[in-house]
Amino acid sequence: MGNQAAIVPAERRVKVFRNGRNLAVRIPREFEFPGDEAVMRKEGGRLVIEPTPSRSLLGVLSRLKPLKETFPDITDEPPTPVTF
């Protein structure tokens, strides 16, 4: 037997259980995805869970609130010439 790719089933029956006031489901190992967050949405009668996209630096920066501090003016002096 050679190296064969693992066959991932298209679906699997899972148990739904209560976790406090929420319903929860364990994601079986063969359906694992990277990260520790997911996006959940309903599409008609279906519940879709997918991993969150990786965060980009620009996305993180766009969510930062402006600083309320004032900073001193900085003089922008020309660089010192360098001889090689």
Does residue 60 or residue 40 have the better pLDDT? 40
Please state which of the ranges 2-6, 9-13, 34-38, 44-48 shows the lowest mean pLDDT. Answer: 2-6
CA 78/CA 11 separation, integer angstroms: 65
Span 4-21, mean pLDDT? 83
Ordered by start, the domain boundaries in the chain are: 10-52
DSSP readout, 20-57? TTEEEEPPPGGG--SSS-EEEEEETTEEEEEEPPPPPH
Q: What is the pLDDT of residue 60?
A: 79
Q: What mean pLDDT value characterizes the chain?
A: 86
